[in-house]
Amino acid sequence: MNTYGGYGAGGPGMSGPMQGAQGGGSVGPNEHETVGAYALGILDDAEATAFEAHLATCEWCAQQLDELAGMEPMLAALADLPGAGTPSIGESLSARPSPRLAEKLVDEVAERRAQKRRRGMYMVAAAAALIVGGPLVSVAATGGDDSGGGNVPLQASSPAKAAFDGMPDRVTATDPKTKVSATVAMEEKPHGTDAVLELKGVKGPEKCSLIAVGKNGERETLSNWSVPNWGYGLPDAKTEQAKNPLYVQGGAAFTPNEIDHFEIMTFDGELLAEVDV
C-alpha cells in the first residue's frame, strides 16, 4: 500500500478525487493518490520514477499536479514564520503531515528557494561582468566627432583613432582616379615604425591592405581589413557611419626614414591610393 495516498484527494484548490470510468465509482488507492506526495517532493527515487511513468499517460494527475503547484509557496511562507503556521493555514489542509514531516517539508522548500535566489545573484553578477568588460573588447574602428548619429558605435573608444591623433608626423594624398584619400600618421619605435591610416572615399564591399614600400624596394604589409557595403569617408552617404573615415593601425620593420611611400591596395591588386613619404 502506498503510504502517501492521503495527499492525493481533496484539499483547497483541487478538483477532488478522480471519478472512475463510465460506471461512476471512485478509483481506489493507487498511483492517482500519489500526486500530492509527488508535488511536495516527499517520494523516494523509486516511487517518484514510478509516478512519473504514470503521469506521462494520465491527464487527471497532470491537472492535479498543476493545481498543487501552490503548495510550495505556502510552505515557503511557513518557513519564514518564527513558529508553527497559523491555525487558519493548518486547518485549510484536508490531510496534514506529522509535525516532523511538516518541518522537513518547510526546510526543504526554504532551501530550494534559497538556491534559486543564489542562482539569480550569480546570473546578475555575470551580466554585470559582461556589461563592464564589453567596452574593453568592443572598440570601433571608425572616426568622426561626438555629434554623430546613433549608428556610430563607440567612436571615442577607437584605439586607432586615438593613436592617429597622437602622431604629429603625417603624410597625405588623394588619388585623382579612385578619389580615395589617405593620410598616414607615423611614429618611430624601437621595432621600426608604428603607423595609422585614415582612409576616406572608399566604397565597399572590398578587402584592402596598407603596404609600406622601402627605399630599397622591399615591401611590407602593415595591416589588412574589409570595407563593408556602405564604405567609409563618403560625404554624400546617408548614414553617419558611412560618412566617417576608417582608421587602421599597423607596424613595419622599416624606420620612417627608410620608407619611400605607402600603398593602399585591394586584394585584387587595384591601387586605391599612394602616399609619398
Is 140 inside a domain boundary?
Answer: no
- From 54, 85, 112, the end of a domain falls on 112
Nearest to 184 by CA among 171, 173, 174, 175: 171
Expressed as residue numbers, the domain containing 222 is: 155-276
Is 88 inside a domain boundary?
Answer: yes
Handedness of CA 229, 235, 237, 238 (dihedral sign): positive
Is 147 inside a domain boundary?
Answer: no
**Count of the separate structural domains present in the chain:** 2
Report residue 186: phi and psi, to 5°: -130, 155
Q: In this structure, are 96 and 207 located in the same domain?
A: no
Q: In this structure, are 20 and 96 located in the same domain?
A: yes
> Which grid coordinates are listed for 118?
543564489
Is 183 inside a domain boundary?
Answer: yes
Classify residue 257 by burial, with Cβ atoms within 10 Å: 0-12, 13-18, 19+: exposed
- From 59, 83, 112, the end of a domain falls on 112
Q: In this structure, are 202 and 259 located in the same domain?
A: yes
- From 92, 112, 132, the end of a domain falls on 112
Q: Give the separation between CA 189 and CA 253, rounded to whole angstroms.
A: 9
Q: Give the separation between CA 148 and CA 32, rounded to whole angstroms.
A: 67
226: CATH = 2.60.40
> What does pTM read for this prediction?
0.46
Alpha-carbon radius of gyration of the chain: 37
pLDDT tens digits, the chain, 277 residues: what are they?
A: 444 343 333 333 344 444 443 333 333 346 667 777 777 777 778 877 887 788 778 887 777 777 666 565 565 555 555 544 444 444 444 445 556 655 666 666 566 656 655 555 555 454 444 444 333 333 334 544 444 444 444 344 589 999 999 998 999 999 999 999 999 999 999 999 999 999 999 999 999 999 999 999 999 999 999 999 999 999 998 899 899 999 999 999 999 999 999 999 999 999 999 999 9
Q: In this structure, are 103 and 206 located in the same domain?
A: no
Is 228 inside a domain boundary?
Answer: yes
